[in-house]
Structure 1
């Protein structure tokens, strides 16, 4: 697929075939949240590209075809990531601006600038010992499960999945307790596009404080490794790499955990003893990444000139958004079996493929395994059709996942871990030299490994308790 572009200025009237003609589908409204399959079917009537609004008065083109999406993602020359031309055309209080605005990070860079930033990120993430990470995820999951296991009921969003990725990613980045609350508030506000400008400012201030702290007092964490990387990132660059990784690793991972649990608890194909093996959990994750990816519409690009693509004229600087969900369910795809099939676009594709997908998948897999293993008789508290989805142009996220189960009495593993003596020692997430060969084999060894060594509770329990209190507030 080749896209032709010209140097001419945008015409005063949209040309024939331009998505500005006709009605635009509101991605921010309830229809997409309630019935995404129906919404994408309606959008496919326009062909592989469709006119949409990301928020009132913010037009964009949504790519719904799998082949068309790959063509965009693999052609950064025609479809660059820099949004600054578009950004000059929108109001400062635009609800989607904090999610889309330019930042000096991997997501908004191309060419050599992207390679430099990406190298710092991938090298720093590669230093994380996945076996130690699994141990920390298990211990954190045990702690959270112990809080509701004796009650016989829980909301797996508020009580579990919303908190777990925040605990893990803040540990990965060495975030101290006094910055944790700010990260919690800011992250959810940006994704929901509610008070997004204020949320963005809160997030920015918290991460900048973290960067400056690690410059002064480095540790064994991704923030410190970014700071010491040979490409010599500035404070501003470091801040935006961390913001991007936290944004991509917390909210979407939360949604992947919840969507996976919803599938396992509601689909007869995953019946039987759900806690009996890793295979079913991995199958469910693959299915969700195909059909309900946590980032449904994302991977924005901004043509630098008017571009004709797939018979549609795409205006200069206007967002071209990849519908990862619609592309994955494109009727033109012939594959019927998705188990073990990783050709989906949930992690994007091309040069901008998610660099933290291994860590996100590990967290998701362990989180699902742990709660199903601890509460094997767990059932949905309401019919699956009555579950409510959060509206928004970008994510696929449930508001709640209520479940019932026989109360678990007695001490759980989480109680024992939580009650260990306090210590100021953080878990050591560095990759030991002897594990280099194991890491080369990918995630399979980690996902199937026996339980990793226990991780001692430390002074960060105070922050965990604060997170739980904040997220439970009405």
Structure 2
């Protein structure tokens, strides 16, 4: 999508001083990202010079149409980071999230096609009807651990254990490996000082999972990856699993919490908890527009300098799509979220999420199990007291404390 134009152009991010790049890692950005996106748009237009962490520049795409063009142009904007990472130290906290990996998310061309067909085949074996029942069987006992207390933190006591256990069941992961995966993955997403060590812990646990399924196959996604006719090697298998976990637990966890928060604080949805007209799916779609769990992601790396929207993007430097900003671009936004699923929360183009149907089902079921069991649930603190976790990629609450009338344990129907 190279352009020519008589209008003045600028280059990002190379010539800009640190003071001219917007930090995506600050608590201030985490607390009110939409205000930052609006300020970005006024100052920079559709392409913004940012720092992912101190000293790691990137270009953030906040224009919807520009993002769609980039995401559908893998020839000019491949997802392969190998040239970029040559200049990045190993202890860089965002390197584990951005670096090349032999999987469908971080490759281009024929290599990407090869990995994606294995991933799609592994996911295709998931029975959505059985998945619905599985989430119910997992969620109800978890609710019973706190329903008699009258209060809970929905992050640590509900959403995390339910999402995590569901993903482990889909992938065929035993509990001991699952704990190692969870700890390592959380450190990677935080992007802090422990990110590199967390990435190593994450990878080691997944290698052990591959070896386990080679010895003891089962009816699970990992086994289908291991047995696929393409015959990926152990490193490739580990990296497909890494993508599934990374795209599964943290984003779904944040989507559950962000959606519950909307439903508890917006009267259009709060009324529906006790019989109103708007559904959980309506709330999900609105959150995917306004507060997507992966706010800034879908990294690409131009093969050569390229002119986009009168900005020269340097070769091999990260171009990051802000799904949160693009979805709310005034150039396309009507404010009509319900029954409108043209958002970028699942990405689009050759790297669009292949697990969208399963993710929708899981998140919706996790929310509805909670609200069916505890229909009078309310926030335990004012919205302004909720804390959002800093980080360049996610839109994530540090906790979601709630209160509700104490309830006896739910009867188990199975």
TM band (smaller chain): over 0.9
Q: What residue number does 1:404 align with?
A: 403
Equivalence for 1:154: 152
Task: Give the alignment of 1:37-48 within 5 angstroms.
Answer: 37-44=34-41, 45-48=43-46
1:41 Cα deviation from its structure 2 partner: 0.8
- Conserved in 1, the CA contact under 8 Å of 2:27 and 2:390? yes
Report the equivalent of 2:53. Answer: 55
Q: Quick check: 1:273–1:376 contact (8 Å CA) kept in 2?
A: no
Matched residue, 1:227: 226
Structure-2 residue corresponding to 1:256: 255
1:36 matches 2:33 = yes
Match of 2:67 among 59, 69, 76: 69
Shift in CA distance, 329/230, structure 1 to aligned 2, threshold 3 Å:
same
How far apart in 2 are the matches of 1:152 and 1:262?
18
Asked if 1 retains the 8 angstrom alpha-carbon contact of 2:40 and 2:48, the reply is yes
C-alpha deviations, 1:139-164, integer Å up to 9, x for none?
11101100000000000011111221
Distance 1:51 1:229, change over 3 A: same
Asked if the contact 2:77–2:301 (Cα under 8 Å) also holds between the matched residues in 1, the reply is yes
Q: CA deviation at 1:278?
A: 9.2
Map 1:64-213; keep pairs closer than 5 Å.
64-194=62-192, 195-213=194-212
Q: Is the 8 A contact 1:19 1:313 kept in 2?
A: no
Q: Following the alignment from structure 1 to structure 2, what is the Cα–Cα distance between the partners of residues 279 and 231? A: 45
**Number of the residue aligned with 1:27:** 24
In 2: Cα distance, 1:252 partner to 1:278 partner: 27
How far is 1:123 from its partner?
1.2
* Structure 1 stretches of at least 4 aligned residues deviating more than 6 Å after TM superposition: none
Following superposition of structure 1 onto structure 2, how do residues 270-419 of structure 1 map, counting pairs within 5 Å? 270-274=269-273, 276=275, 280-409=279-408, 411-413=409-411, 416=412
TM (normalized to structure 1)? 0.83
- Range with greater deviation from structure 2 (138-147 or 273-282): 273-282
Distance 1:113 1:259, change over 3 A: same
How many correspondences in the alignment?
Answer: 405
Partner deviation per Cα, 1:90-146 (whole Å, 9 max, x = no partner):
111001011111110001112221111111111111111101111110111101100
> Residues 382, 18 of structure 1: CA spacing in aligned structure 2 closer, same or farther, 3 A cutoff?
same
CA distance in 1: counterparts of 2:114 and 2:13, whole angstroms: 35
Hey, what's the Cα distance between the residues in 2 that align with 1:412 and 1:334?
Answer: 43
Structure 2 SS opposite 1:304: coil
Q: 2: distance between equivalents of 1:243 and 1:276?
A: 40
Given that 1:275 and 1:369 are in contact with CA atoms closer than 8 Å, whether structure 2 keeps it comes out as no
- SS state of the match for residue 361, structure 1? helix
Distance 1:299 1:378, change over 3 A: same
* 3-state SS, counterpart of residue 60 of structure 1: strand
Tell me the TM-score normalized by structure 2: 0.95
Alignment deviations for residues 281-319 of structure 1 (CA, whole Å, 9 cap, x no partner): 000000000000000000000011111111111111110
Q: 1:4: how far off?
A: 5.2
Query: For residues 273 and 81 of structure 1, do their structure 2 counterparts lie closer, same or farther at Cα, with a shift above 3 Å needed?
Result: closer
User: Which residues of structure 2 form unaligned runs of 5+?
Assistant: none
SS at match of 1:354: coil
**Separation in 2 of the partners of 1:373 and 1:278?**
15
Q: State the Cα distance separating 1:259 from its structure 2 match.
A: 0.2
Counterpart-to-counterpart distance in 2, 1:295 and 1:263: 17
Distance 2:333 2:206 in 1: 44
Q: Following TM superposition, by how much is the alpha carbon of 1:271 offset from its aligned partner in structure 2, in angstroms? A: 3.0
Query: 2:327 touches 2:333 (CA, 8 Å); kept in 1?
Result: no
Which whole-Å CA distance do the structure 2 matches of 1:47 and 1:197 have between them?
A: 34
Q: Write the deviation string for residues 387-442 of structure 1: whole angstroms up to 9, x where unpaired.
A: 11000000000001000000002x413xx37xxxxxxxxxxxxxxxxxxxxxxxxx
**Residue of structure 2 in register with 1:239 after alignment:** 238
- Could you tell which deviates more after superposition, 203-212 or 378-387? 378-387
More displaced 10-residue stretch of structure 1: 373-382 or 354-363: 354-363
For 1:384 and 1:265, locate their aligned partners in 2 and report how far apart those are by CA, in whole Å: 10
CA distance, structure 1, for counterparts of residue 333 and residue 255 of structure 2:
25
Q: Distance in 2 between matches of 1:169 and 1:298?
A: 21
